[in-house]
Structure 1
């Protein structure tokens, strides 16, 4: 790889560092450990720059590498500190507002079009990240541990010292709130196909 391409890659990676740090901190809750994980992911890309084929965005590629670094850190027994949920409105109140008295949804969800195509768009991930940041910290963390890091529920419960039923309730609430946020801020703003 030429020095120019290497310099360009290093500059692009440096611009991704803040977003990578936010994500690593969400999962690890330890500044030093998050910095280590981000640094390890960036170094892995710089050591083997030819491994990046360009089939996805650089951010997606680096984030995928970092995913495994985070899993390694979690499995190595690093303890995460507990974060108290602080919301003006309880999860129960927010969820109740989505349904009528007879249990039906207030509004039918809008058509999400082609979700696979949306995943290819970088803007989608920016909106998803914002939606995740709106979740209570513990809820977002559990959701990402399960859905993105693909940890088993038992592993999450052991790491966070919560019951299985509590984990499932938190995951259910996270999915509802993310669906609502994405429906309002992403899928609802997409141009509708002409019929």
Structure 2
């Protein structure tokens, strides 16, 4: 099996492509934090799959194609959670053995300020790692 002769340089991605990817993402998701997260996910996916880069397109085009899939996945995730309620099943062995009750549980989809802080810290750590690559 031939080695991949098409080279990409992840060391340059943040400096060369982050602004372009951000502009692409922000128009589509209209949220700065989500756009930043999607770009981080794009860079990580690119790092994981860099051995599959065939050189048929530029690095930027390749990263944009990854980002497009991340944006689609983002909207799929949002739309799959709409209208769904979590159900907690309690089994009772009092009067009716084997019977169960459904209870609605609060939807934890909304993030708290602490969750946002953790996400921001994780994003900063990812960017630091990318800068060191």
TM norm structure 2: 0.50
Give unpaired runs (5+ residues) of structure 2. 80-133
In 1, Cα distance between the equivalents of 2:65 and 2:12? Answer: 16
In 2, Cα distance between the equivalents of 1:74 and 1:59? Answer: 23
Which protein shows a greater Rg? 2
Q: Which residue of 2 aligns with 1:73?
A: 74
Deviations 1:68-96 (A, max 9, x none): 10011112227xxxxxxxxxxxxxxxxxx
RMSD (Å), alpha carbons:
2.0
**Counterparts of residues 17-96 of structure 1 (less than 5 Å):** 17-77=18-78
In 1, Cα distance between the equivalents of 2:48 and 2:78? Answer: 27
Q: Which has the higher contact order (CA 8 A, sep 6+)?
A: 2
Large movers: runs of 4+ above 2 Å = none
The structure richer in helix per residue is 1
In 1, Cα distance between the equivalents of 2:63 and 2:56? Answer: 13
Deviations 1:98-145 (A, max 9, x none): xxxxxxxxxxxxxxxxxxxxxxxxxxxxxxxxxxxxxxxxxxxxxxxx
The structure richer in strand per residue is 2
Q: Alignment length, in residue pairs?
A: 73
In 1, Cα distance between the equivalents of 2:20 and 2:42? Answer: 13
TM norm structure 1: 0.35
